[in-house]
A = this chain, B = another copy of it.
């Protein structure tokens, strides 16, 4: 892979530094807002939201892994905590006896409803209010999407 031996330009290095820093600033701000409001942390929202999107059929841990980009052991323990808290139901998978199927419980659904207004306000406060026009929002969205892609340009 030739490109991997190239050195980054000054501009790229700056983008890297700012990506780390902007994310950290925004994330710690949002997490702090959640904590202040007395609701669970972001990771819980992520799991619950994926399960809600998945609907009736629920999701298997291995599917969560792919969607949240978390390691297998982290999913395993995160789900543990959510099960203990009563927000997620875990039952054996009918088609694969190694696996399990996760679904939302009623309290899980309730947590999502409780968290969203807080979360949305935090996103607006720590991200939305910092960016300018809709056009800037679109531009940033597009550029960030490229960063996530696996292919080079």
Q: Of B125, B131, B145, B148, which one neighbours A147 at CB under 8 angstroms?
A: B131
The main secondary structure of chain A at its interface with chain B is: helix
The A1-53 residues at the B interface (CB cut-off 8 A) are: 1, 3-9, 11-16, 18-28
State how many copies of this chain the complex holds. Answer: 2
- Let me know if A121 is at the binding interface, CB within 8 A: yes
Task: Decide: B137 and A149 in contact? CB cutoff 8 A.
Answer: no
A28 cross-chain contacts in B, Cβ below 8 A: 69
Interface range on chain A (Cβ under 8 Å from partner): 35 or more
- Let me know if A93 is at the binding interface, CB within 8 A: no
A24 to B74, CA, bound (A): 15
Task: Please list the residues of chain A having a beta carbon within 8 angstroms of any beta carbon in chain B.
Answer: 1, 3-9, 11-16, 18-28, 69, 120-121, 123-125, 127-132, 134, 136-141, 143-149, 152-153
4 tightest CB-CB pairs across the interface, nearest first? A18-B144, A12-B128, A22-B147, A23-B23
